[in-house]
Amino acid sequence: MAIVFALLFIIMVISVPVLIVKKVKKDIAIPELALVTCYVLSIGALCIGFMIHQADYLTAIDPVDGACYIPFGGKHILTLLFYFAAFHTALLLIWLKGNKLPPLAMVLCLGFIITGIVFNILILFQISEHDTSSLGIYNHADHVYLFVFTPVLGIFISALLIVQVVKTDMATANDRTYTNKLLNRLNLFLAQQSNLPFWAVILIIPVLLATTVLLMLLGQDPDSLVKVFTETTTWRFSQHTHPPVLGHRGHYLCTVAVSGNPKIVKPIRLGVRAGRIIVVNRQLLIANAFEEMVQDFSPGLHRIIRRNYDTYGYNLSKKINNERMSNLTYFLMKPLEWFFLICLYLFSEKPEQRINRQYPI
Q: What is the pLDDT of residue 6?
A: 54
Q: What is the pLDDT of residue 265?
A: 79
Q: For the chain, which ranges sit under pLDDT 50?
A: 1-2, 138, 193
289 and 205 in a common domain: no
311 and 188 in a common domain: no
Q: What is the pLDDT of residue 141?
A: 60
Q: What is the pLDDT of residue 296?
A: 82
Whether 3 is in a domain gets the answer no
Whether 291 is in a domain gets the answer yes
Q: What is the pLDDT of residue 179?
A: 62
Q: Map the chain to HEC letters.
A: CHHHHHHHHHHHHHHHHHHHHHHHCCCCCHHHHHHHHHHHHHHHHHHHHHHHEEECCCCCCCHHHCCEECCCCHHHHHHHHHHHHHHHHHHHHHHHHHHHCCHHHHHHHHHHHHHHHHHHHHHHHHHCCECCHHHCCCCCCHHHHHHHHHHHHHHHHHHHHHHHHHHHHHHHHHHCCCCCHHHHHHHHHHHHHCCHHHHHHHHHHHHHHHHHHHHHHCCCCCCHHHHHHHCCCCECCCCCCCCCCCCCCCCHHHHHHHHCCHHHHCEEEEEEECCEEEEEEHHHHHHHHHHHHHHHHCHHHHHHHHHHHHHHHHHHHHHCCCHHHHHHHHHHCHHHHHHHHHHHHHHCCCHHHHHHCCCCC
Q: What is the pLDDT of residue 275?
A: 62
Q: What is the pLDDT of residue 202?
A: 67
Whether 101 is in a domain gets the answer yes
Instruction: Domain count for the chain, please give it.
Output: 2
317 and 226 in a common domain: no
276 and 198 in a common domain: no
Q: What is the pLDDT of residue 130?
A: 85
266 and 172 in a common domain: no
Q: What is the pLDDT of residues 121-131, one digit of tens each?
A: 999 999 988 88
86 and 181 in a common domain: yes
Whether 247 is in a domain gets the answer no
Whether 311 is in a domain gets the answer yes
Q: What is the pLDDT of residue 85?
A: 93
> For the whole model, what pTM was predicted?
0.64
Q: What is the pLDDT of residue 253?
A: 61
Q: Where in the sequence is the domain holding 263, given as residue range(s)?
A: 252-356
